[in-house]
Amino acid sequence: GSRSRGWRAAPRAALASPSRKRETNCVTTRLLLLVEDDALVRTTLADGFGDAGFEVLVAEDAERGLLLLARRPDIDALLTDINLPGADGFSLAHSARLLRPGLPIVYTSGRLRLADPDRAVPGAPFLPKPFTIAHACSLLECTMGRRG
């Protein structure tokens, strides 16, 4: 969320170099919806996932994320921060699953060390911040591979 202090991204040059890109290229033309309220984190992640082969749509809150999800049936996965202004990531994930029952979802947070299992949607793993794009891609691919 907005208090994800200590976020450390790899230098842009490291993400963009051809040898590094081959190592972290986890998908080919998959559409990821990224919901993150912290502008710097959102931009850094969008750039990193883009370099790793994702097409990325971004939203700064759950309401905008849900609008994008409703308008874009081609979204392949949702990565959402839990701590968002207004509706939180848990609410977003539940609403997203009502619209798209098989949608792969990954939760993330810099405040929490794990997602509350009583609030999380089934099959949605948790990724604590900070994380590497390579690790996030691996988790997303695993989650996308589980859908029916």
Helix (H, G, I), strand (E, B) or coil at 43: helix
Please name every residue paired with 105 in a beta bridge, in sequence order, or none if there are none: 78
Peptide bond into 125 cis (omega under 30): no
pLDDT digits (tens, 9 = 90+) for 69-83: 999 999 999 999 999
pLDDT digits (tens, 9 = 90+) for 5-33: 333 344 333 333 333 333 344 545 799 99
Size of the chain, expressed as the number of residues it contains: 148
pLDDT digits (tens, 9 = 90+) for 85-139: 999 999 999 999 999 999 999 999 988 777 888 899 999 999 999 999 999 999 9
User: How many other β-carbons are positioned within 10 Å of the β-carbon of residue 134?
Assistant: 17
Residue 60 to residue 38: CA distance in whole angstroms: 7
pTM, entire model:
0.80
